[in-house]
Amino acid sequence: MKRALILDFGGVISRTLFETHALSEQALGLPPGTLRWRGPFDTSSDPLWRDMQADKLSERDYWLARSREVGQLLGEDWQRMETFVQRARGADPDAVIRPEAVNAIHRAKAAGCRLAILSNELDLFYGADFRQRLPLLAEFDVIVDATHTGILKPDPRAYADCLAQLGLPAQACVFVDDQARNVAGGQRAGLACVQFDVLNPGASYARALQLLGVAG
């Protein structure tokens, strides 16, 4: 049976904004050390992140709040999340892609696996032209983005849509996401799941490839 690797994008394929504060500060002209919230890398520094993890606000709401906050530092009114991402990450999206992701994607494809992205905010965060500016995305057979479907993980319909577009049953697929609630949704959908550890991306991808049966 054909198998598939289904990946979240932000945090799993790309490095998180928490990991690239120095690059963001440089791109935005902010003094080093201005951005102090660290999300999963230091939850004590980020009460808003703790609220998001406790389901007191959505992931979108978290990033909208951070976007507004950073815009205010520049004396600007940012009302859209993609403003932050695009301004902070500039015109070179390849610079923030995890090398572990590139390696795993190529290995899975070489082994004959199909590839899918299941994201809550790919185009919302990065803009409509992002897919043309990141050649890696051409490797994927399916991209399901809630920016357009309006169906956010962990809604079971998001996983069902991705599986339908892949033309594969859940048991043939491995799903990787860095949010526990999205992983739980994938498990309820019958997918083999890996909760991506942003602190150890290599181990997370190794586990995903192992579940796919891709040799190390």
pTM assigned to the model: 0.88
For the chain, what percent of residues have pLDDT higher than 70?
99
- Of the listed ranges 127-136, 138-147, 200-209, the one predicted with least confidence: 127-136
Residue 151 has pLDDT above 90, yes or no: yes
pLDDT class for 125, splitting at 50, 70, 90?
confident
The predicted-structure confidence for 11-28, as pLDDT tens digits, reads as follows 999 999 999 999 899 889
Closest CA to 210 of 119, 111, 124, 127: 111
What pLDDT sits at residue 53?
87
Q: Give me the residues paired with residue 192 across strands.
A: 174
- What is residue 82's predicted lDDT score, i.e. its pLDDT? 83
Q: What is the pLDDT of residues 154-207, one digit of tens each?
A: 999 999 999 999 999 999 999 999 999 999 999 999 999 999 999 999 999 999
Residue spans of the domains in the chain: they are: 4-15+94-212, 21-92
- Is the distance from CB of 64 to CB of 52 less than 8 angstroms? no
Which architecture does CATH list for 4-15+94-212? Answer: 3-Layer(aba) Sandwich (3.40)
Q: Given this model, what pLDDT does residue 92 score? A: 74
Query: What's residue 124's pLDDT?
Result: 81
pLDDT one-digit tens code per residue, 106-122: 999 999 999 999 999 89
CA distances from 99 to 88, 94, 156, 195 (A): 20, 10, 30, 18
Query: Beta 142-145 vs 4-7: how paired, if at all?
Result: unpaired
| pLDDT value at residue 132 | 86
Residue 91 has pLDDT above 70, yes or no: no
Length of the chain, in residues: 216
More confidently predicted of 157 and 81: 157
